[in-house]
Amino acid sequence: MRPLPRPQAGGSINQLRKFINLSDDGLILFVAVLLFAFIPGRPHPVLYLAGEGGTAKSTISKVARLLIDPAAVLTRPMMES
């Protein structure tokens, strides 16, 4: 695990729009999931991405992971039971 980078002042949440393709409502929910990830000891919403192939689910997942988790592995396939 690597440490998270220190936040820098002067940005805008709208800067995420060039990396993810979400509606205004989707962006609000995405940001809420990101913010809750930084609140320790509380229940967290789950980022659930659904859609057909090619709708950028993996890209959005990678962006979220890069923002909240400094681990080197960005995505993993679901484990089959």
Q: What is the pLDDT of residues 15-56, one digit of tens each?
A: 888 888 888 999 999 999 999 988 889 898 888 988 888 888
Output the pLDDT for position 30.
93
CA distance 56 to 11: 24
Query: What DSSP character marks residue 52?
Result: S
Output the pLDDT for position 29.
92
CA distance 34 to 64: 7
Are the CB atoms for 68 and 34 separated by under 8 Å?
Answer: yes
Query: What DSSP character marks residue 10?
Result: T
Question: Which residues are CB-contacts of 41 (< 8 A; sequence separation ≥ 6)?
Answer: none
Are the CB atoms for 58 and 21 separated by under 8 Å?
Answer: no
Task: Choose between 79 and 29: higher pLDDT.
Answer: 29
